[in-house]
Structure 1
């Protein structure tokens, strides 16, 4: 089995940030922290004009948070730290002065949907079905909710949050505004991501930075908001309901 990683590769002024974990690209705290820092660093790297966020292998984009860590939470403080992992990545993406293109090649769950929603331009394959499964284990998509609601609206977000057992197809996500394009294969997806990113590199970086501010207007309070949401999830994960649910994943 491959070791988890976060790596940055720069090609033709495009910074490709790739994360990987052998458990369907689920993300433990240390990988989330490294991902947040890598995004922040890429934002200040003069060799990079546009960023692409992607995950390793050809199947699942991101299975969300690490269940192994989730099961071992025994106090509210640890719970808040755990759920702050995705909050820190979302805030790093929000604050990054460069456009971030999402490359979503397969199914994505929970926090992974939050990552996709936090990109500025998200492209997917037809295999990129999405699901918010948090209510099914007694918590909720509190941390990723603001990012998802910002992209697909409260109606769309509430639909997939309540229907926590269902995967919604990539075309549904495109119709709601999460994905800009859906491609028949990963090969077509990769060609389109590369072409789009490299074309954006011909644009005025200052103009793109100003546009990014416009896109994220009204989110300056998210540092506090997502911290509050992380604390809420950290408390709920200690409930008897959630503890019983999590036993089934051991």
Structure 2
């Protein structure tokens, strides 16, 4: 692939942004360029008022097969501070996907290994093709899945993480669904269509409410359960949403048996 070829491609279809990892010749393996490009792509999408949802996919046979061998060779010569900077860049990329105010849907075909599995875990919704394969293979290289671990453990829980982090075995799409890493398994040729069906449901919701719903999940999972701080935070959130222009429009549309402005406006566009 030429250095001029973008390693991340963004295609727009109305409110949908399709983000494609574009290194198919090496199964969309990570290196510094891909990590930086993904981080910047999601920074822009977070600020894009016309984007309502994001499909994240990989070009070619695989979603992402993990680390690029040439990148690993370079990293082997890094000192501790260079390694920290490298890891911070990866964490920033995953966090920007996780915190993107637009729902992000992973379409997973082929391999999702190491950092590729971390990408899946950072997305809001994940759909896997029937032949998809997953692994956290780091221990076989004498390292650990440290940076991806907050996202993966949140998705599958500590008990399952112990199993897969320690054995580094590959597992298939149905096992990924069983442990909570992916939400659905479909024939690989139906991945795109199923992703677009989910986007069609997402855009029926209020854009601000959807962003707040994502924030709500993070709030509930990070605050102590049963305490007054969490209770007050949730009370404040619903009060603010009911009083907001979008909340008033949505409730009003429901009571008046009409489509809310965010749907009606999109249909007229």
Q: Which bracket does the TM-score occupy, shorter chain normalised?
A: 0.7 to 0.9
**What is the distance in 2 between the residues matched to 1:107 and 1:178?**
14
Native 8 Å contact 1:124 1:170 kept in 2: yes
- Cα RMSD over matched residues? 1.6
Equivalent of 1:71, from 70, 73, 94?
73
- Per-residue Cα deviation, 1:174-227 (whole angstroms, up to 9, x for no partner): 01111111012x22111100111122112111111111002223569xxxxxxx
Secondary structure of 2:102's match? Answer: coil
Matched with 1:205 is 207
**What is the distance in 2 between the residues matched to 1:66 and 1:191?**
30
Q: Which has the larger Rg?
A: 2
Matched with 2:251 is none
Matched with 2:240 is none
**What is the distance in 2 between the residues matched to 1:68 and 1:84?**
19
Matched with 2:131 is 127
Equivalent of 1:28, from 21, 27, 31?
31
Secondary structure of 2:171's match? Answer: coil
Secondary structure of 1:47's match? Answer: coil
Q: Which moved more, 1:68-77 or 1:25-34?
A: 68-77
**What is the distance in 1 between the residues matched to 2:57 and 2:35?**
14
Give runs of ≥4 in structure 1 deviating > 6 Å.
none
Shift of 1:56: 0.8
Relative contact order, higher structure (CA 8 A, sep 6+): 1
Equivalent of 1:42, from 26, 45, 57?
45
- Per-residue Cα deviation, 1:114-151 (whole angstroms, up to 9, x for no partner): 00000001111011110011000111000001100000
Native 8 Å contact 2:7 2:33 kept in 1: no
Matched with 1:237 is none
Shift of 1:69: 1.6
| TM-score relative to the length of structure 1 | 0.82
Matched with 2:146 is 142
Equivalent of 1:56, from 52, 56, 59?
59
**What is the distance in 1 between the residues matched to 2:216 and 2:209?**
11
Equivalent of 2:180, from 177, 182, 192?
177
Secondary structure of 1:147's match? Answer: helix
- Structure 1 residue runs without a partner (length 5+): 221-250
The alignment status of 1:117 with 2:125, answered yes or no, reads no
**What is the distance in 2 between the residues matched to 1:83 and 1:20?**
22
| TM-score relative to the length of structure 2 | 0.77
**What is the distance in 2 between the residues matched to 1:63 and 1:4?**
18
Matched with 2:85 is 81
Shift of 1:60: 1.4
Number of corresponding residues: 217
Structure with higher helix content: 2
